[in-house]
Structure 1
Amino acid sequence: MADSFEKSRLIQPAGPPPYQEPTQYPYAGYPPPGNYPSTSGYQGHQYGAALGPCNQEPYPGCPAVTVQPAVYVASVQLVSAPPDFLGYSIFTMLFCCLPLGIAALVYSCTTREAVMSGDREMAVNNSRMAYILNNIALGIGLATITVCIIVGVELSNKSHHYP
């Protein structure tokens, strides 16, 4: 029986605390307002302001606070951007010479990235390389097509030739 009495006493609250008469504090049991030691690790600052004589004008013994301006870094596109030859690169990749077309496409994409980041020197170099690779790929493609046409015509003539 004693065991159940202990359990019921633990489960049920003991009741409200006894009534206390108001004391000298007019704040109904709360401590009076003022500066108390901070638990946040900062010195005794209230509402972000420093306390003491350093709160007015700086004088010897008070640290000076210098506020640095915010620095914003924005990417600026080039005003006169070099051409990236992206369409030319796709054409040469699909219809002329696949390996050189892929390389030209990579240089075209890096040209666009350099233009977006504002690096003019890199954009000009990549644009020039894409143009050179596209021209070489076009030349190889045209030469290959020309050779294929000539070989096809020759084979066609030999097959229709009657002895």
Structure 2
Amino acid sequence: MNPNMSPSAPPPGWTSDDKSAMPPPPYQDHPQYPNAGYPYPAQAQGYGPPPQYGGQPYGQQPYPGQQYPPVTAAVTVQPTVYVTQAPLARAVNDYLGYSIFTMLCCCLPLGIAAFIYSISTRKAVQRGDLVVADQSSAVARRLNHAALGIGIILTICFIRFSFVYFKSH
């Protein structure tokens, strides 16, 4: 290859009409890499001999005055133990349907809070945490009752005031 030319330049005398008849240009030659682009020498098939233990590997010399006795102890590994909790055997009511009803039909803020506690109850049941499930269930029930009471009171007040308003006009 000519060092004065670019490695990707076409050979002299080449025209675009000749490109169908010419083979593609060769890969770049790199003189600093003598075997670049050429196949590697044939390798022996299979595995080589096993490494020799106990002798002096690779010509290393032992430290003077330090000879270590051979190690004959075995290492024992303990098995991994996974601890999981099963869902609760006793079902805890999460009041999810009641929470959705009070959220949409009665009192939105208390219904949202009851909905959050219902989801918390459901997650505690899946974890197997009975104490948290009971507490969240009780809070969800109280919030749902309060939202339902507020919704009923507001509905009664709305009906009463609209009846009085339309009667007077």
Amino acid in structure 2 at the alignment position of 1:69: P
Residue in structure 1 matching 2:49, options 15, 20, 33: 33
Residue in structure 2 matching 1:144, options 140, 150, 154: 154
| 2:137 equivalent in structure 1 | 127
The C-alpha deviation readout for 1:75-132, integer Å capped at 9, x for no partner, is 4100112100000000000000000000000000010000001111000000000000
Measure, in 2, the Cα distance between the counterparts of 1:31 and 1:125.
66
Answer whether contact 1:97 1:138 (CA < 8 A) is retained.
yes
What's the TM-score once normalised by structure 1's chain length? 0.62
1:63 matched to 2:73: yes
Query: In the TM superposition, what is the alpha-carbon distance from 1:12 to its structure 2 partner?
Result: 9.0
Measure, in 1, the Cα distance between the counterparts of 2:125 and 2:118.
11
1:80 matched to 2:72: no
Question: Identity over aligned residues, as a percent?
Answer: 44
RMSD: 3.3
| 2:99 equivalent in structure 1 | 89
Query: In the TM superposition, what is the alpha-carbon distance from 1:63 to its structure 2 partner?
Result: 3.1
Query: In the TM superposition, what is the alpha-carbon distance from 1:67 to its structure 2 partner?
Result: 2.2
Helix, strand or coil at the partner of 1:70: coil
Give the direction of change, closer, same or farther, for the CA distance of 1:89–1:12 in structure 2 (3 Å limit). Answer: closer
Structure 1 residues without counterparts, runs of 5 or longer:
18-27, 38-53, 55-60
Measure, in 2, the Cα distance between the counterparts of 1:148 and 1:99.
19
Query: In the TM superposition, what is the alpha-carbon distance from 1:153 to its structure 2 partner?
Result: 0.9
Structure 2 residues without counterparts, runs of 5 or longer:
4-28, 54-69
Answer whether contact 1:114 1:122 (CA < 8 A) is retained.
yes
How many residue pairs end up in the alignment? 120
Answer whether contact 1:81 1:120 (CA < 8 A) is retained.
no
